[in-house]
Amino acid sequence: MPENRLVSAFRIVFVNNGSWKLFSLIIAVLVYFSIRADISHLRTLPVPVEVEYDAAQGGAAIESVEPRSVQITLRGSYADVNQLVPSSLRCVVRPKQKTNSPRDAVEIALGSSNLRGVHGLRVTKIEPAVAVVKFDVPMALRLAVAPPELVGKARGRVELVYDQTNAVVSGSRRLLSPLDATKVCVQPETIDVDGRSQSFSARVKLYPPGDPTSVVVEPSEIVVNVHIISEKATVKLERVPVTVLQPFASRSRWKTEPEWVDIDLTGRAEVVKALKFGEVSASVSGNVAFSLAETNEVPVLVHIRQGVSVDEVTATPANVRLVPLAPASAEEKKGP
């Protein structure tokens, strides 16, 4: 009897409605692995190492930090991991000197607490796992600020005005002492003036010579006033042919006298100087009564390529004469 009951219980649990139970098991397995995959997505990214250290309080300067970047592996859902912005990730270390010696080296174990921008994700690995920060005797050096470089082409002549012509660079003596203050400059970031026609001001970041992670420049940026001065110029195009405009079916035919004109264009220097011969044309209206015995004086119209703006256009002569051409005979029209 006990055996029969055991067999019956086995049938009830595993045999009765077996297809439905197997189907439920498959669904459960699929759900389990889908959830596991969703929360177990891995991604490895390079992250720069930054040092936060107050040289004024510590009495030393940072000479170097190794490595400059680490590889971090993050675990999380597919959506969270792939929404990361790599440029926002940082590995921050705060070194402390072991002794009073300004020349010292400190090893710092790296962990998730050193990482910034990885909220909600699990850090599974950091390679390498140790950063080495070297200290040195601090030094300050006054250097000239190089003129900012311009990027692009402005609509006029560009003049830069800024009051800050020198900056103080602080950092490791080993890094700064070899520098020649008469030859080395602090480099400002470039200023984009492409297509600009109005003056403006820009805050320009300053970059110290050498390793920016170990050297600090004060001030860190300067204000540059960018003056764009519009210069006018006049360009002459000589012997531009004059075209007679008239309906195609018109029986009247004309030629102009003279057959060409000179055209003066005045406007922004960079615009008018860039114009080419084929981008400017001249025409007159030939929609007048035909007469072999008369000539007609008509004004010259100047046409400039679309999109080009000039201040003044003058054609010389301003008017030309229309000279009638005899209509071709029927035999001439038929041709040979």
Residue 115 zone, left/alpha/beta (φ > 0; ψ -120 to 50; rest): beta
At residue 53, the pLDDT reads 83
Q: What percent of the chain has pLDDT over 90?
A: 34
pLDDT of amino acid 225: 95
231-254 pLDDT per residue, tens: 888 999 999 999 998 877 777 778
Q: Which of 54-58, 65-69, 117-121, 289-293 has the lowest mean pLDDT?
A: 289-293
- Choose between 165 and 3: higher pLDDT: 165
Looking at the predicted structure, is the pLDDT value of residue 330 above 50?
A: no
| pLDDT above 60: residue 281 | yes
pLDDT at 2 over 50: yes
**The predicted structure's pLDDT at residue 206:** 94
Q: Is the pLDDT of residue 114 over 80?
A: yes
CA distance 258 to 238: 13
Instruction: Give residues with Cβ within 8 angstroms of 30, minimum separation 6.
Output: none
In this predicted structure, the answer to whether residue 126 has a pLDDT above a threshold of 70 is yes
**What is the overall mean pLDDT for the chain?**
82
> Which residues, at least 6 apart from 295, have a Cβ–Cβ distance to it below 8 Å?
257, 321, 322, 323, 324
Give the pLDDT confidence score for residue 63 in this predicted structure.
85
Cα–Cα distances in angstroms (integers) from residue 262 to residues 277, 286, 319, in the given order: 11, 20, 12
Calculate the CA 18 to chain-centre distance: 64
Q: What is the pLDDT of residue 332?
A: 46
- Taking residues 78-94, report their average pLDDT: 85
- Using the predicted structure, report yes or no on whether residue 160 has a pLDDT greater than 80: yes
For residue 331, the model assigns a pLDDT of: 43
The C-alpha torsion from 239 through 240 and 241 to 244, rounded to 10°, is -130
Would the pLDDT of 72 be above 60?
yes
15-61 pLDDT tens trace:
555 666 666 767 766 665 565 555 567 888 899 998 888 776 777 88
Q: What is the pLDDT of residue 120?
A: 76
